[in-house]
Amino acid sequence: MAVVSELIRSESDGTISFGDYTKAEKSKLEDFKHDGDVYKVKTFKEITKLERNGMFVYESVPGTSVEHLNVTENQVSFTVEGSEDANITLELEPETEYDISVNQNDAGKMKTNLGGKLSLSVELEEGSSIPVVVKKA
């Protein structure tokens, strides 16, 4: 996997990929249209953030590159790469329990807060990517 040099792109499987953790300066792209939604991405080495229709979707600290982000009613899945371990926050349903899988290992269950935010940590090494699946329990 490599960084998403165009900041955000549509994939042939209907998912999106975004983020470039190698950038030293903040970069952003607004008004990216995909599947009837409008996306905005901000990314660089310190943070990567994605919004859909003005609403929070994904944030990582430090920045990451995400491929094949797929959001359905019951699951969020993607592959993530970064230069170091990252904290990832996702916007999901409020006060709902989710099963988390990181790098095909069970990472347990977590419940979102009142705002629907779920935070998890992933161990990353530059040049390798890991799959993350967050599924409604």
Q: If pLDDT is split at 50, 70 and 90, which confidence band does 2 have?
A: low
Task: Domains for the chain: give ranges and CATH numbers.
Answer: 8-136 (2.60.220)
Max CA separation in the chain (angstroms): 39
**What's the pLDDT tens digit per position in 101-135?**
999 999 999 999 999 999 999 999 888 899 999 99
Residue percentage of the chain with pLDDT more than 70: 99
User: How many other C-beta atoms are found inside a 10 Å radius of the C-beta of residue 41?
Assistant: 24
**What's the pLDDT tens digit per position in 60-88?**
999 999 999 999 999 999 999 999 999 99
Q: Which pLDDT score is estimated for 39?
A: 98
| DSSP 8-state code for residue 120 | E
Q: Which pLDDT score is estimated for 119?
A: 96
Q: Which pLDDT score is estimated for 1?
A: 55
User: How many other C-beta atoms are found inside a 10 Å radius of the C-beta of residue 65?
Assistant: 25
Q: If pLDDT is split at 50, 70 and 90, which confidence band does 3 have?
A: confident
